[in-house]
Structure 1
Amino acid sequence: MPTKPVDTTRPAGAPPAPGAALTEGSLARLGIRFTAWAERWFPDAFIFVAIAVVIVALGAFANGAPAPAIAKSFGDGFWSLIPFTMQMAFVTIGGYVVATSPPVQALIDRMAALPKTGRGAVGFVAAATMVSSFLSWGLSLIFGGLLARALARRTDLRMDYRAAGAAAYLGLGATWALGLSSSAAQLQANPASLPKNLLAITGVIPFSETIFLWQSMLVALILFVISVVIAYASAPGQTAAVTAADLGIDVARESEDVGRPQQPGEWLEHSPILTILLVLLAMGWVVQEFARQSWITAISNLNTYNLLFLTLGLLLHWRPKRFLVAVARSVPATAGILIQYPLYAAISSMLTNAKNGAGTSTSDVITHAFVSLNTTGSFPLSMGVYSAVLGFFVPSGGGKWLLEAPYVMQAANELKVHLGWAVMVYNAAEALPNLINPFWMLPLVGILGLKARDIVGFSFLQLLVHLPVVLFLLWALALTLTYHPPVMPG
């Protein structure tokens, strides 16, 4: 994309020159405009979820649910996701502790030295984040955020920090649900994890029929390429880039020096003895978990995943004092999770539990309309749109699948749609609203020191391209698959 020659007389931390955006390419100008709009009008993530609560409550009231029932469902659901909330907080803490350990920081620093331009750095963050998301969505958030921070520390590189933040979010907005950490695919491959009523509808659907379908891998590849290209092309060039320094954000690496023990009671804090013993104890449990089930099943359990990351973080930091300092530094990034996830739990409860006099919930109304309006040919497209819209209000891949799957998979059976592909339709479409939903942005923006409004302009541009591409692929590739009846365990 054409850019104005760099003004070498302007200090590296100075704001963009007036009119600099006019010299950018069309995608970069669009990204800048969307971001300018978002910075002015996009609410804080808490305001966003509070508005969603009100909308869902009004929808339940319009459906005929009495006000006391709506209030009760709100309160009953508010604390229902506390275990999941803590798991998500520990995903952030564990990822942060591992990523800030000396060995991983050295790897991130070496990677951060590779890009030659600010735009190239943004595209590099996008690629690295999406690759890591195929392994773990939690890792992709933390790793991508810390890579963006490392790049922002380079004095020879003028990189738009907001665009880099949006690129670091692409693992959650584009590819995570097509990889090994796909909640829906993991649930369907493990009969013990499925509710009996859902298992009776879907049977067991192995990875070979979901994420390892060539059609699914093709979608993942196309999204990967498109996302990197858009991230690169939409990133402002050097004359229009807004750096971390321009935003007043300190990205300097915090000191790793924890000093030496001053009192006898501090000796164990600086000794690796307890680290070794704790790691051996944790690994003994992990080995047993992996011995009794497949590694894919084991790693899909968030408790196992979090214990692995915390144990690895402790081992990489080596001394308990250094580990505890890293944990303390990670906690502020969990603030949004702790206060907002209960509100999302309340939304889910109001959708399903606030019923009218006939015993019908808002979710039931949506369900009946969805099933009655579909045909075999329209099912993938319709399900994709529906999953994307619902995902904006209930942004939990696994939890929403348990709500949505009973009726959409029953419809898939009745319409003779490939059941594994129905899961992948859900996966690909469910990730779309993540691009503009601040729910999953919280851990990332906490690490970056940004607000959701700072990155949503660039991620919205990604959504504009992803939406028609994903829906077309879901519809077209469904034509290449043949329906098979559910396969029951045993």
Structure 2
Amino acid sequence: MKKSMSERVADVYSRYFPDAFIFAIVLSLFAILGAIFFTDSSPIAVLGYWFDGFPMLFTFAFQLIITYAAALVLVDTPVVQRFIKNMASKIKKPTTAYVSTSIVGALTSFLGWYFGPVVTSLYARALGQNVKGVDYRLLAAVSYASFTISLTGISGTIPLFVATEGSFTELLGGIYTLDQTTFSVLNMVTAFAIVIVSTIIFYFIGKNKKEIVTFNDLAIIKSGEQAASLELEPSKVAYEPKSFAEKINDFRPTLLIFGLLGLVYLIYFFGTKGINGLNLNSVAFISIVIGFLVHKSPTTYLESFSRNIPATSSIALQFPIYGGIASILIASGLSENITAWMVSYSTEVTFPVLTFLITGFINLFVPSAGSQFTATAPFIIPAAQELGVEIPRAILSITFGDIWTNLIQPFWALLYFPILAVGTRLTVRDFMGYCLPILVAVGAIWILGLLFLPL
């Protein structure tokens, strides 16, 4: 059977690209060697930077773990499960499955990077299990690629960061609100174009697909055991007769009152701060409070949280590794050298594009948006000011670059993999190759936008 070009690329990617954890280790080695050979830092000093960087992202990692686990708990309710399954049940054709997953993923990811992966993964999984002839590897790729516009959305780390008073406010010359970044013409037009173009590309890849690997082909079924599956329905355990403590544990008003108190404060909080009140802490709080409101009892909430927290284990493991990489780049001066070289060859017109390309490269080593901005803003922002580049355009250049190479950097697949892969032999290598055409298309859209679109 002669395979299509996209299938051949995906096969090569699957054969030679390492797993996400190995990718992080290899990039750590590159960062260490680069700092030793291209800066004045001694080997022992570089190892010291690496050591110091391990706890750099502990706070951000915990914020992400809590937010993601709380988002999983939020969808771990019968009403949400039924809604997602009902949506998926209306899809009958493979190409419709790919297109709908792309659109659902983009919309939900724009609303929240912590929310979109959960909903999209559950939706794609339901499609993979129920739509005849759909390739589950490609469906996983569509799900992951839909994350591309997430950090340009209303929960984007960098736009929220520059919209908040902090250590970088003086460097930036003030606060830049979301209407100057997230809701700018540049960002909204390119985001819309990315969704349309990506969806069309995946439609044609799916239409021309020759080799189909279904969900059932990848499913793991062990003899004498029940097939592994993702069942997010809260466990139902009968307690008869119930003790007083068990009655308290199952008493929904306890959880409901707590959720209502949180909701009241959120209304007040956003009533006074508006959309600028969105940050990682408020997002985590929102996810937890809504979970309190929709779950049946404190017991079901606790069981759901305990069941879903293991899905964040890869995040807990890999964030310290990337913190070490970020520390090496910053402390050794390697990121400063890269940026200084970039500025020396820039003009007011080309600077945003070069910033986009360089930050895209750095993102391979530091896929955390917060770390990326911390590493590059101290050099990029002053250079932008010197060249006369609009600061919001420079901020968006960093943001776009930080997201762009996620299409070949598997770190953020950690948000999808716990749902997409459970009970199957699916690996990141199986679907990342299908994202390469999207990488090219998205890069072209953002470069053209940075060159020609107004803010």
Contact in 1 for aligned 2:230/2:419 (Cα 8 Å): no
Separation (CA, whole Å) in 2 of partners of 1:424 and 1:238: 35
Per the alignment, in what secondary structure is the counterpart of residue 210 of structure 1?
Answer: coil
Residue 198 of structure 1 pairs with residue 176 of structure 2: no
CA distance in 1, matches of 2:375, 2:296: 43
- Aligned residue in 2 for 1:217: 188
**Distance in 1 (alpha carbons) for counterparts of 2:7 and 2:209:** 13
Task: Name 1:399's counterpart in structure 2.
Answer: 371
Do residues 321 (structure 1) and 276 (structure 2) align? no
Partner of 2:418: 446
Distance 1:233 1:345 in 2: 39
CA contact (8 A) 1:442 1:452 kept: no
Once the two structures are superposed, what CA deviation does each residue of 1:225-253 show, in whole Å capped at 9, x if it has no partner? Answer: 01111122222668632111101255453
Counterpart in the other structure of 2:276: 297
CA gap 1:252/1:440 in 2 versus in 1, 3 angstroms: closer
| Aligned 8 A contact 2:76 2:234 in 1 | no
Aligned length: 441
Aligned to 2:330: 352
Preserved contact between residue 6 and residue 434 of structure 2 (Cα < 8 Å): yes
Matched, 1:115 2:91: yes
Q: Aligned match of 1:187 in 149, 161, 165?
A: 161
Root-mean-square deviation (CA, aligned residues, Å) is: 2.1
Deviation at 1:60, TM superposition (A): 0.8
Equivalent AA in structure 1 for residue 6 of structure 2: G
Paired residues of 1:153 and 1:252 also in contact (CA < 8 A): no
Shift of 1:320: 2.2
Taking a change above 3 Å as real, the CA distance of residues 244 and 328 of structure 1, as seen in their structure-2 partners, is farther
Is 1:118–1:157's contact at 8 Å kept on the other side of the alignment? yes
Who is 2:289 aligned against? 311
Contact 2:133 2:214 in 1 (8 A): yes
More displaced stretch, 61-70 vs 110-119: 110-119
Deviation at 1:468? Answer: 2.7
Q: Measure how far apart 1:406 and its partner are.
A: 2.4
Structure 1 residue 273 corresponds to structure 2 residue 260: no
TM-score normalised to the size of structure 1? Answer: 0.85
Aligned counterpart in structure 2 of residue 231 of structure 1, from 199, 202, 217:
202
Match of 2:134 among 146, 153, 159: 159
Partner Cα distance (2:178, 2:262) in 1: 29
**Equivalents in 2 of 1:402, 1:366: separation in Å?**
15
Query: What are the within-5 Å matches in structure 2 for residues 100-111 of structure 1?
Result: 100-111=76-87
Q: Please state how far the C-alpha of 1:170 moved relative to its aligned partner.
A: 2.4
> What is the alpha-carbon distance in structure 2 between the residues aligned to residue 464 and residue 58 of structure 1?
29
Equivalent in the alignment of 2:224: none
Q: Distance in 2 between matches of 1:322 and 1:380?
A: 49
Q: Which amino acid aligns with 1:210?
A: T
Q: Is the 8 A contact 1:95 1:143 kept in 2?
A: no
Aligned to 1:207: 178
Q: Which moved more, 1:393-402 or 1:257-266?
A: 257-266
Contiguous gaps of at least 5 residues in structure 1: 1-18, 23-28, 355-360, 482-490
The match for 1:169 among 129, 140, 144 is 144
2:266 corresponds in structure 1 to 286
Write the deviation string for residues 247-297 of structure 1: whole angstroms up to 9, x where unpaired: 125545355441222341322333213212321343354345334422x22
Superposed, 1:8-157 pairs within 5 Å as 19=1, 22=3, 29-62=4-37, 63-154=39-130, 156-157=131-132
Letter in 2 for 1:108: I
SS at match of 1:267: helix
User: CA–CA distance in 2 between the matches of 1:203 and 1:189?
Assistant: 9
Q: CA deviation at 1:473?
A: 2.6
- Contact between 1:130 and 1:171, CA under 8 Å: does it hold in 2? yes
Contact 1:137 1:171 in 2 (8 A): no
In structure 2, distance between residues paired with 1:261 and 1:129:
40
Name the stretch that deviates more: 116-125 or 230-239: 230-239
Q: Is residue 212 of structure 2 the alignment partner of residue 241 of structure 1?
A: yes
How is 1:368-387 mapped onto 2 (pairs within 5 angstroms)?
368-387=340-359
Q: Give the SS at the match of 2:154.
A: coil
Contact 1:118 1:237 (C-alpha < 8 Å) held by counterparts: no
Q: Which amino acid counterpart does residue 269 of structure 1 have in structure 2?
A: N
2:76–2:233 Cα contact (<8 Å) kept: no
> Aligned to 2:411, what secondary structure does the other structure show?
coil
User: How has the CA–CA distance of structure 1 residues 411 and 98 changed in structure 2, closer, same or farther, with 3 Å as cutoff?
Assistant: same
Unaligned runs of 5+ in 2: 221-227
| TM-fit CA distance, 1:402 | 2.7
Equivalence for 2:225: none
Q: Which amino acid aligns with 1:422?
A: A
Deviations for 1:193-236, whole angstroms, at most 9, x for unmatched residues?
A: 3425423xx32323332222223221111111011111222226
Distance 1:209 1:322 in 2: 42
Distance 1:33 1:194 in 2: 47
SS at match of 2:412: coil
Distance (Å, rounded) in 2 between the aligned partners of 1:336 and 1:257: 25
What displacement does 1:150 show?
A: 1.4
- Percent identity between matched residues is 28
Distance 1:413 1:64 in 2: 28
Q: TM-score, normalised by structure 2?
A: 0.91
Greater helix share, structure number: 2
Could you tell me which residue of structure 1 aligns to residue 319 of structure 2?
341
Residues 432-470 of structure 1 deviation map (CA, whole Å, 9 limit, x = unaligned): 111111111112111111322122011123113222332
CA distance in structure 2 between the aligned counterparts of 1:319 and 1:241, rounded to whole angstroms: 43
304-313 or 258-267, larger mean C-alpha shift? 258-267
Contact between 1:275 and 1:319, CA under 8 Å: does it hold in 2? yes
Contact 1:258-1:321 at 8 Å conserved across structures: no
